[in-house]
Amino acid sequence: MKAFTSILAVLVLLGLSACRSDEEIFPVATLSGNFSINRGQSASMVVSLDQPAANELQISLLVSGINVNAFSGPSSVTITSGTSGVSFSYIASGAAPSGSAITITLSEGIGYTLGDSKSALIAVAN
């Protein structure tokens, strides 16, 4: 019986230490919005964090779509320490064909996790 009690005590201690979490909780990054713009116009977006960044975060942007070269904008954004977001814009060139559209998606990285809303669509209306 004494051996069983000792084993049970060890298992309880192991279980308690396994439940303890020293893991850092990273902010969740999101990007949302769908935009319809005209040639030569820009669409402004915001990458938001659910809590201020403990350190500077660089978040890469993946751009895909139709006539991607008809748009200009950053390939990444930087959220400074202590802030919870950053705004940026993509511009459709004056020669962008009608129907040009891109999707901007946040890429996975270090120091943050991605939320459910991680992409935005920009389409040229005319």
- The pTM assigned to this predicted structure is 0.79
Q: What is the pLDDT along the chain (126 residues), one digit of tens a residue?
A: 565 455 544 444 445 444 445 567 999 999 988 899 999 999 999 999 999 999 999 999 999 999 999 999 999 999 999 999 999 999 999 999 989 999 999 999 999 999 999 999 999 997
For 15-42, the three-class secondary structure string (H helix, E strand, C coil) is HHHHHCCCCCCCCEEEECCEEEECCCCE
Of 73, 122, 118, residue with least CA distance to 99? 122
Residue whose structure tokens are 């977006």 = 45
Instruction: Assign residue 95 a region (left: φ > 0; alpha: ψ between -120 and 50; beta: otherwise).
Output: alpha
**pLDDT the model gives residue 11:** 44
CB 120 within 8 A of CB 81: no
Domain segments of the chain as ranges: 25-124
Give the CATH fold of the 25-124 domain.
Answer: Immunoglobulin-like (2.60.40)
**pLDDT the model gives residue 22:** 57
